[in-house]
Amino acid sequence: MAGGPLLEVRDLAAGFDSRHGLVKALNGVSFVLEPGERLGIVGESGSGKSVTAHAITGLLPSNARVTGEARLDGVDLLQMSKRKMRHVRGERIGMVFQNPLHCLNPSMKIGAQIEEVILAHTDADKREASRRSLELLDQVGIPSPDRSAQEYPHLFSGGMRQRVMIAIALACKPQIVIADEPTTALDVTIQAQIIDLLAETCKAYGAAVILITHDLGILAGFADRIVVMYAGRVVEQGDVDSIYYRPAHPYTLGLLRSVTRIDEARRDRLVPITGNPPSPVLLPSGCAFHPRCPYTQPVCSERVPPLELKGGIDHPAACHFAEEVATHRAGDAVQ
Ligand SMILES: Nc1ncnc2c1ncn2[C@@H]1O[C@H](COP(=O)(O)OP(=O)(O)OP(=O)(O)O)[C@@H](O)[C@H]1O
Ligand SMILES: [Mg+2]
């Protein structure tokens, strides 16, 4: 659809039937992704990042109940058949997950796995698929593509396997690549290389990227825009600079203070957020962050703050005291 965003997620909610009753993992998540944009989704464990990605791509298990909309070029993915979604996943949305070994077939050569994706989703014949797979291996920085294509995944390091996953995600020239914690299992220097590779290759292919992480530090040099999630909601979203330099939600402030920086030895600044994220079966009343929030007031346990633009702040935040937080933050030297 001309003019609209590439992906528009609106009021996405997801729950799971369980023996504890309905686990409400997402409670009305909305965001947009523009063509070619790099969006970061950040939040602690359990905030609903993966459920968001899986809901959009039709990968939630059968005990999940999903409502809302996820429109790709105007067409709601949530209404699509499983068969159509399988095609969307290969052709229009590429995926990179935390553990490539779960996604790669251990008994199939690397090259053949890339070819398989190309053959399943494009008109290419075997010869063309083989040529493309070697080209992709080269583009993602796998040395000697000819030889590497003949190897099995277990011979590759974690970083190399993730490069292969990026090649597979890009194999059909998708409009979007969703990478869910793609570097969590890797050591720090390799992490940076993989994030840079993701940025470069997706740019070369003209694909937008959704990078999911619990570490705001990773998004600094990567994201155009950031969505901050807490307890199944978006609590703040804005341009990367707005989020880093003018955060207006106390949770984002907490995440910023706990960022690990590779470039600076400022360990004294590493202050974890006190307490733990809530369980979705026992969400605190009002603002779910209020039991952990240094700014909390009585109203915070009474009313859920909507995600909205408030005076003096250049992006929306879901906090009753967003203006105070933003002002306070301006005098704070955490950087
Ligand atoms: N299949 C499921 N059945 C029941 N609850 C689930 C299921 N999948 C996820 N959840 C719950 O939904 C909530 C959100 O989970 P999700 O995996 O999206 O978190 P996350 O932000 O990706 O965390 P992490 O950083 O650990 O990957 C969690 O409380 C989780 O326990
Ligand atoms: Mg996750």
- pLDDT, tens only, 105-127: 999 999 999 999 999 999 999 99
Q: Which atom of ligand 1 is nearest to the CA of 44?
A: 25
Pick the range with the lowest mean pLDDT from 188-192, 222-226, 240-244.
188-192
Distance 146 CA to ligand 2 centre (A): 34
Pocket of ligand 1 (CB under 6 A): 16, 18, 23, 25, 43, 45-51, 61, 214, 280
Distance 138 CA to ligand 2 centre (A): 29
103 three-state secondary structure: helix
Distance 315 CA to ligand 2 centre (A): 25
pLDDT value of residue 20: 80
pLDDT above 70 coverage of the chain, percent: 94
Average pLDDT over residues 269-291: 89
84 pLDDT higher than 80: yes
Q: Exposure pattern of 55-87 as b/e (b: 16+ CB <10 Å)?
A: bbbbebeeebebebebbbeeeebbebeeeebee
Average pLDDT over residues 261-285: 75
Note the ligand closest to the C-alpha atom of 51.
Answer: 1
Average pLDDT over residues 289-294: 96
pLDDT value of residue 185: 85
Beta strands (DSSP E) in 87-132 are: 93-96
- Please name the residue whose Cα sits nearest to atom 2 of ligand 1: 16
Distance 232 CA to ligand 2 centre (A): 12
Average pLDDT over residues 175-180: 98
pLDDT value of residue 260: 59
87 pLDDT higher than 70: yes
Distance 216 CA to ligand 2 centre (A): 15
If one compares 284 and 331, the residue with the highest pLDDT of the two is: 284
pLDDT value of residue 333: 40
Q: Which atom of ligand 1 is nearest to the CA of 229?
A: 21
CA nearest 29: which of 6, 4, 54?
54
Domains of the chain: 7-223 (3.40.50.300), 234-330 (no CATH)
Average pLDDT over residues 261-276: 65
Q: How far apart are CA 148 and CA 142, in angstroms?
A: 7
Which residue type does 285 have?
Answer: S
Average pLDDT over residues 269-281: 83
- Please name the residue whose Cα sits nearest to atom 17 of ligand 1: 50
Average pLDDT over residues 172-176: 96
If one compares 105 and 269, the residue with the highest pLDDT of the two is: 105
Q: Which atom of ligand 1 is nearest to the CA of 47?
A: 21
Residue 250: count of CB within 10 angstroms of its CB: 28
266 pLDDT higher than 80: no
Distance 48 CA to ligand 1 centre (A): 6
Distance 16 CA to ligand 1 centre (A): 10
Burial (0-12, 13-18, 19+ Cβ within 10 Å), 264:
exposed
Choose which residue among 41, 47, 102 to substitute to test ligand 1 binding: the one with the highest number of ligand atoms within 8 A of its C-beta. Answer: 47
pLDDT value of residue 335: 40
42 pLDDT higher than 60: yes
Q: What is the mean pLDDT of the chain?
A: 92
pLDDT value of residue 2: 55
pLDDT value of residue 328: 75
Pick the range with the lowest mean pLDDT from 137-151, 180-194, 198-212, 226-240.
180-194
Beta strands (DSSP E) in 92-240 are: 93-96, 176-180, 208-213, 225-230, 233-239
Note the ligand closest to the C-alpha atom of 26.
Answer: 1
- Starting at the edge strand found earlier in the chain, the sheet holding 233-239 runs 93-96, 176-180, 208-213, 38-42, 225-230, 233-239
pLDDT value of residue 261: 56
pLDDT value of residue 272: 76
- Please name the residue whose Cα sits nearest to atom 10 of ligand 1: 25
CA-based end-to-end distance of the chain: 41
Which residue type does 236 have?
Answer: E
pLDDT value of residue 330: 53
pLDDT band at 265 (very low <50, low <70, confident <90, very high): low
Choose which residue among 20, 27, 42, 51 to substitute to test ligand 1 binding: the one with the highest number of ligand atoms within 8 A of its C-beta. Answer: 51
252 three-state secondary structure: helix
46 pLDDT higher than 50: yes
Note the ligand closest to the C-alpha atom of 49.
Answer: 1
Tell me the CA distances in angstroms from 213 to 76, 256, 305, 332, one per residue in order.
25, 13, 24, 25
pLDDT value of residue 102: 84
- Please name the residue whose Cα sits nearest to atom 6 of ligand 1: 16
pLDDT tens per residue, range 11-39: 999 999 988 888 999 999 999 999 999 99
Distance 254 CA to ligand 2 centre (A): 19
pLDDT band at 329 (very low <50, low <70, confident <90, very high): low
